[in-house]
Amino acid sequence: MKKTVTTLADGRELIYYDSADDIVRDAVDPRPLDAVSTSSEIRRDPLLGDSVAIASHRQGRTYHPPADECPLCPSREGRRSEIPDTDYDVVVFENRFPSLAGDSGRCEVVCFTSDHDVSFAGLTEEQAGLVLEAWTDRTADLAELPQVAQVFCFENRGAEIGVTLGHPHGQIYGYPFVTPRTEQMFRSMESHRAETGRNLFDDVVARELADGERVVLEGEHWVAFVPYAAHWPYEVHLHPRRRVPDLRELDDAARTEFPQIYLELLRRFDRIFGPGEPPTPYISAWHQAPFRAPGREEFALHLELFTIRRTPGKLKFLAGSESGMNVFINDVPPEAAAQRLREVASE
């Protein structure tokens, strides 16, 4: 893998990740861009104790542009995009419309491929492996920034999830605080340790493997299952068998196997609702330990993949109980979801 760091016309950082070690990336961004002015502000809710990023500048962001104006496609003569070069493998750059910026963290965009018309599931194993390298490298770099407490790599896929650009891409958020979900997991992890003397994540994975009913896919180094109390109609948690706190600590064997396992999961997701259905909208979310949290070594890096579609043409909305009270109601039993995700295997 070759990494080339450059800056865009407004000073934002852009990084190329290439498979070929001899590639030269020296294209310059000629666009007359004003420096980015961001005004995001983190406000703490006094009742819930959580934080909200108020980001009014995002209202003007690019919204469903035509394909020939895609800002994530490579540049070509007469049409300049966010990526100065005329081709790329994987590229990461600072979001021009960040929810978090400056002292309040960082928001980056990851373009998975220069091909506008594929989805992550359509990448080759080599391409998916390069994306994993990019996620890992960004996690390592952002760990060095004092204002970043936690890194979240994720992909929103599908207009139903509110994706405003069709080009295959994901995002990386560097939060200036530990997120509420991660804090919650730490609390559960600590009380489990106090009660049993064991690691919560190890026990959860062991229970799923022993039970077997909700296991979707087992590799030599990765295990995927629908959790016992899944919140979403189709939800899969993917864990490396060797527990590590973040992407940086995955060993080579797990890294090598990851593309095969993850691509298979995504392809199964697209088959859940049968042929003729539009691609399944999903959220794919990497959970990593915060960098400076006490007990971080106990945390388990894992990926949570879920869809908000519950049946063909029907979405699960976060309505009264979910949005008003944080109580999820899931119409699809986790065992049935796992059974479906095994049925639609490619092999």
Smallest distance from the beta carbon of 208 to Zn ion, in angstroms?
38
Does the protein bind Zn ion through residue 72 (CB under 5 A)?
A: yes
Residue 169 appears among annotated catalytic residues: yes
Does the protein bind Zn ion through residue 83 (CB under 5 A)?
A: no
String of contacts with Zn ion for each residue 147-186, x by CB under 5 A: --------------------x-------------------
Residue 171 forms beta bridges with which residues?
109, 154
Tell me the C-alpha distance between 78 and 125, whole Å: 33
Of 8, 53, 55, 73, the residue at the interface with Zn ion (CB under 5 A) is 73
Q: Work out the number of other CB atoms within 10 angstroms of the CB of residue 220.
A: 10
CB environment 290-319: b (16+ within 10 A), e (fewer): bbebeeeebbbbbbbbbbbbbeeeeebeee
Nearer to Zn ion, 14 or 72 (CB): 72
Query: Two tokens at 199?
Result: 């690691």
Q: Are 223 and 239 in contact (CB under 8 A)?
A: yes
Does the protein bind Zn ion through residue 118 (CB under 5 A)?
A: no
The stretch among 62-70, 101-109, 168-176, 295-303 that binds Zn ion (CB under 5 A) is 62-70
Q: Are 215 and 223 in contact (CB under 8 A)?
A: yes
Does the protein bind Zn ion through residue 107 (CB under 5 A)?
A: no
CA within 13 Å, CB half, 36: 25
Nearer to Zn ion, 76 or 314 (CB): 76
The stretch among 12-20, 22-30, 63-71, 325-333 that binds Zn ion (CB under 5 A) is 63-71
Of 116, 193, 231, 255, the residue at the interface with Zn ion (CB under 5 A) is 116
Q: Work out the number of other CB atoms within 10 angstroms of the CB of residue 289.
A: 23
Amino acid in the structure at residue 312: P
Tell me the C-alpha distance between 170 and 82, whole Å: 15
Nearer to Zn ion, 46 or 66 (CB): 66
Size of site (CB under 5 A) for Zn ion: 5
Of 33, 42, 70, 215, the residue at the interface with Zn ion (CB under 5 A) is 70
Which candidate in 167, 169, 221, 239 is catalytic? 169
Nearer to Zn ion, 48 or 67 (CB): 67
Question: What stretch of H or E contains 187?
Answer: helix 180-196
- Catalytic residues, by residue number, are 169
Contact residues: Zn ion, CB under 5 A: 70, 72-73, 116, 167
